[in-house]
Amino acid sequence: MKIKSLIAVIGVAVFASCSPTEYRVERSSTIDAPAKLVFDQVNNHKLRDAWSPWEKMDPDMGKKL
């Protein structure tokens, strides 16, 4: 029983040491609007309700302003 546990622990350690240490995730989207207009919308927190996906998911959520 102890030998099986030891083999399992060694197997997990070998598997973990072979896995990549860094991950990279990228996403992009194209917005058909002038950069200044997009920046002004995103930079102004009072306009956030117009574009925030979380607003549509839970319109009754509490907000600290």
Query: Tens digits of per-residue pLDDT, 20-36?
Result: 778 888 999 898 999 99
Query: Per-residue pLDDT tens for 44-59?
Result: 888 888 888 888 888 7
Confidence band, pLDDT 50/70/90 cuts, at residue 39: very high
Residue 58 to residue 55: CA distance in whole angstroms? 5
What does the DSSP 8-state code read for residue 45? Answer: G
* CA 45, chain centre distance (Å): 21
pTM: 0.42
